[in-house]
Structure 1
Amino acid sequence: MKWSEICIHTTNEAIEPISNILHENGASGVVIEDPVDLTIDRENVFGEIYELNENDYPEEGVYIKAYLPFNSFLGETVEEIKQSINNLITFDIDLGPNQVTLSEVNEEDWATAWKKYYKPVKVSEKITITPTWEDYTQKSSNEIVIELDPGMAFGTGTHPTTVLTLQALEKYIKGNETVIDVGCGSGVLSIASALLGAKDIYAYDLDEVAVKSTELNIKVNKVQDAVKVKQNNLMSNVSIKADIVVSNILAEIIVRFIDDAWTNLVEGGYFITSGIIQTKKQMVIEKLENQGFEIIEINELEDWVSIIALKK
């Protein structure tokens, strides 16, 4: 499918009313390209790679971009947008250059455009995550490199909740453990468990796309002998004795299978949970303690929380 990118060169003052006009004419979102973005200092952590090209920005003012279907109504829609923008003058809004340009965009280009922002990231003392399409050279003999192709449905493995979980796995996996990964997504936690020395990893996800994504990524990382993937609803009908149960999903979901985690863990086993927003932390702690778990560690990163519980 082809789309038309409409770009309006205007002023900061006009951003809000013009964005509203674009939304009213069928744009589901807008892109603001403000040259101020080029001078902002940002921390480059957790995969947030900012490689901004100054040639994409105006010297003065801003570009407002939106995407419209390339169809027989496009001409009429663009004229309506132009007329509505021009009418803003009656409200004493400075439109600046007020230049409107159109360009054609192929949907296929969008499908891969995000990849340029995903670079190798060191997420723990040992673990580095790199996309499959990047060339990366191992920096030391004890560095664990996970190659990940998250596709369009899953994260890059560098979200704070995933980082917290990977750091916990690195700390608690000593070797030869049995691990259950609940809600495996792209498979990054299962892969990390295998590369850290776990013997048997069982990866479960209800989403068929997640199962296929995990299967692909475990093959890329050559751990398919250690990781077994299955489509499954949380830990329903699972009867495996595990040393570690790990889950990086929403707090509301975690509390639904705390009893199953308890049943499937060996004595002295660990339940590593993440994906918990600050406001839900106490709820998860109370559920874990009511089940009999001992909370041995709570780690926080940005607004997210990871809880490690021990089956006494």
Structure 2
Amino acid sequence: MSEPTTPLRQLQLIIQQQHVNAAEEMLMAAGALSVTIDTDSQEEIFQLSPEQQPLWQQVRMTALYQPGKFNTDVITIIEQSLQLPYALKHDTQTLIDKDWVSESQKHFPLQTYRNALHICPTWQQCPEHGAVVMLEPGLAFGTGTHPTTQLCLTWLADHPPQHQSVIDYGCGSGILALAALALGATNVWATDHDQQALQSTRNNLLLNPDLESEQVHVCAPEDLASTTAPLVIANILANPLVSLQPRLTSLVAKDGQLLLSGILDSEVEKITQAYQPHFKLININQQAEWVCMHFKKQNS
């Protein structure tokens, strides 16, 4: 009979992203077994520089400690060492002994869109019908759980790009590119400035041997050159979408379609004004405060 596991102590704190590295060092120095980083909101990350670790502006850090090694003064140490002008929001609790692998997997269930597209984590039994994309949830690069990704996946399930070429600009995990391929696209370009995102896309492609990998081109945006496609998808954030308008416009083929997401409902007018000279707005779908905008390129 195995001995019972001693419950761990968990410390969670909210801190600005510029202090993450220093705070992590202090948490580990105070005896943490591990420190994980995620967001305390639905905020998506956007990154243009491949040498930087993508982070949210406000970060939730979670440290685990053995009960006898937990230093309750660590919050004060962090506040004083970083000379923070505010008190850190934090919480401590004793964790009940669980199967933590199974617990973490509950956050990434099988997702089905219009009964036509299934996003399936590697530990799930996949449906035998419809288009299936296997995914290994990773560092916030697109697990299908954020409303902006779900809006794009729903649109693809409603408008399968059969026998079309597709460009996924800002591909993250490659989830939208792989979904397009599973739904019948013939050529897919998955592009991102972030080298970690490109590697994540390649890794997820390997999890899907039933998809035609030679039809997927994983590359940096500059490698697209003069490539165009009848469908271009960009699920990033509103301000980058505005600044990228000339580039995204050039990627959409004549009479092609543009799907934009990562947009708050309060930012719709800004996006419409940026793209209206070249596109006709066809439809807007919304989930919570996030929207997905469908445009059609107008003849010039």
Same fold (TM over 0.5): yes
Contact 1:299/1:307 (<8 A) preserved:
yes
* DSSP-derived class of the 1:201 partner: strand
Q: Which whole-Å CA distance do the structure 2 matches of 1:242 and 1:102 have between them?
A: 53
Q: How do 1:234-249 and structure 2 match up within 5 A?
A: 238-249=225-236
Give ranges in structure 1 of 5+ residues lacking alignment: 9-22, 30-65, 82-99
Residues 110-259 of structure 1: pairs in structure 2 closer than 5 A: 113-138=103-128, 141=129, 143-222=130-209, 223=211, 224-230=213-219, 232-233=220-221, 238-259=225-246
Aligned equivalents of 2:66, 2:124: Cα separation in 1: 33
User: Partner residue of 1:74?
Assistant: 69
Give the number of the structure whose residues are more often helix, by fraction: 1
TM-score relative to the length of structure 1:
0.63
Q: Alignment RMSD, CA only?
A: 3.5
Asked if residue 297 in structure 1 is aligned to residue 283 in structure 2, the reply is yes
Q: In 2, Cα distance between the equivalents of 1:135 and 1:186?
A: 21
Return the offset for 1:111: 8.0
Note if contact 1:255-1:284 (Cα within 8 Å) is conserved in structure 2: yes
1 CA distance for matches of 2:103 and 2:64?
A: 18
Partner of 1:37: none
Q: Does the CA-based 8 Å contact 1:185-1:210 persist in structure 2?
A: yes
Q: Could you tell me whether the CA contact under 8 Å between 2:142 and 2:175 is conserved in 1?
A: no
Q: Return the offset for 1:214.
A: 0.6
Given that 1:123 and 1:158 are in contact with CA atoms closer than 8 Å, whether structure 2 keeps it comes out as no
User: 2:9 matched to which residue of 1?
Assistant: 6
Aligned pairs (5 A) from 1:37-56: none
1-side partners of 2:198 and 2:204: how far apart? 10
Task: Show structure 1 runs of 4+ deviating over 6 A.
Answer: 25-29, 100-105, 109-112
Asked if 1:261 corresponds to 2:287, the answer is: no
TM-score, scaled to structure 2: 0.66
> Quick one: distance in 2 between partners of 1:268 and 1:196?
21
Residues of 1 paired with 2:291 and 2:93: CA distance?
46
Aligned to 2:77: none
> Aligned partners of 1:305, 1:102: CA distance in 2, in Å?
39
Q: Deviations over 1:235-272 (max 9, x none)?
A: 68631021111011111111122211221222110011
Structure 1 residue 219 displacement after superposition = 2.1
Secondary structure (helix, strand or coil) at the match of 2:285 reads strand
Task: Give 1:284's aligned residue.
Answer: 271
Q: CA deviation at 1:288?
A: 0.8
Query: Residues 110 and 295 (structure 1 numbering): CA distance in 2 closer, same or farther, change over 3 Å?
Result: same
Report deviation, 1:278. Answer: 1.2
Deviation at 1:202, TM superposition (A): 0.5
Q: CA deviation at 1:147?
A: 1.1
One-letter code of the match for 2:174?
A: G
Aligned partner of residue 300 in structure 1, secondary structure: strand
Give the secondary-structure state (helix, strand or coil) at the position aligned to 1:189: helix
CA distance 1:115–1:309, change in 2 (3 Å): same
| Aligned equivalent of 2:296 | 310
Change (3 A) 1:70 1:198: same
Distance in 2 between residues matched to 1:277 and 1:159, nearest whole Å: 13
Partner of 2:55: none
Aligned pair count reads 229
Structure 1 equivalent of residue 82 of structure 2: none
Please tell me whether the aligned partners of residues 124 and 163 of structure 1 are also in contact (alpha carbons under 8 angstroms): no
In structure 2, how many angstroms separate the alpha carbons of the residues matched to 1:288 and 1:262? 8
Matched residue SS, 1:254? helix
1:180–1:245 CA contact under 8 A, matched in 2:
yes
Whether the 8 Å contact between 2:166 and 2:187 is mirrored in structure 1 is: yes
Structure 2 unaligned runs (5+)?
1-5, 12-22, 37-61, 75-91
AA aligned to 1:123 is: Y
Instruction: Evaluate the alpha carbon distance shift between residue 302 and residue 113 of structure 1 in structure 2; reply closer, same or farther with a 3 A threshold.
Output: same
Distance 1:252 1:146 in 2: 30
> 2:218 is aligned with what amino acid?
V
